[in-house]
Amino acid sequence: MYLIKYGPIPEHIAIIMDGNRRFAATNRMKTSDGHLQGFSKLSETLRWCKDLGVKELTVFAFSVENFNRSSEEVSFLLQLAADKLSELLEKIEDLCADGICVRLIGNLSTLPTRIQRLGSELMLKTRHNTKSILNVCMAYSSQDELTESIEHIRAGVRDKLIYPSDISPELLSGCLYTRLSRPLDLLIRTSGERLTSSAQSSGRLKSATDKTNPNSQRALRIRRFLDRLDCEYWDTVEKRAFLSGCLSSTDSRFTQRSVGDSLLS
């Protein structure tokens, strides 16, 4: 570990958690025990990344396709996820002391209410931490991410917030779940499989407009559109957190650098 620090360290690593069931079968364990072992190894990996100075870690913990497994296994995985989120909340002071920002990424509305509440509370309480980022992908697939992003753009054109001529790869990138993430440097699938269809890897967000002309009508349209998506997202997060009682009606609105700003900088 000491020697590794002297080499180039990836800024953003993503891990597809796979192979827990095969590990359990090989070692004559229950499937649930295999998942527990997998989460234990993940905790160890998180410590390694922290010690190495990795700035962003993305964990693909539960894909959309995982809902197709047996009801017993799905229930166990979701309960395990809720328990782990609760553990992170219990360590919230340590997370903030270490400057770790936690984000839940995916179609969160399809998850149990308890996970939505825990995740929202965790995101809000770590939102100002800037030293490192932990992305936990739940109910995620790249196909679902692209489909929802395209639907946002379609709705924007329908509501005349943007024009068809505004559509570009950069605009699409700005609508993704992963729009605030760094470029991915290293993708690891733990089972040895090479299929990465559930993971969306994109390059750094590029400017949607010429920096020398920030006041162009096109730039302002795109910025307003992306800012609106950003506000709607955090409105939803806050509403879920209100339900868990972690926010009061007197709390100020969440503020952060908007997606629109990131595309124009």
CATH number of domain containing 68: 3.40.1180.10
> What integer pLDDT is reported at residue 207 of this predicted model?
30
Q: What is the arithmetic mean of pLDDT over 217-234?
A: 75
CA distance 38 to 35: 5
Q: Which two tokens stand for residue 110?
A: 């399809």
Q: Which domain holds residue 65?
A: 4-195+202-264
Condensed to tens digits (0 to 9), the pLDDT of residues 81-92 reads 998 899 889 989
Q: Which residue has the higher pLDDT, 156 or 192?
A: 156
When pLDDT is cut at 50, 70 and 90, the band that residue 115 belongs to is: very high
pLDDT at 6: 64
Number of domains within the chain: 1
Q: What is the pLDDT of residues 19-74, one digit of tens each?
A: 677 777 777 777 667 777 777 777 777 788 888 888 999 988 888 998 998 899 89
pLDDT band at 213 (very low <50, low <70, confident <90, very high): very low
State both tokens at 10. 């990836």
Contacts of 45 (CB under 8 A, 6+ apart): 15
pLDDT for residue 263: 42
What's the pLDDT score for residue 202?
46
Cα gap 136→21, rounded to integer Å: 20
Which is more confident, 257 or 163?
163
| pLDDT value for 150 | 95
pLDDT at 204: 35
User: What does the mean pLDDT of the chain come to?
Assistant: 78
pLDDT band per the 50, 70, 90 thresholds, residue 199: low
pLDDT above 60 for 194: no
- Categorize the per-residue pLDDT at 7 as very low, low, confident or very high, splitting at 50, 70 and 90: low
Residue 105 has pLDDT above 70, yes or no: yes
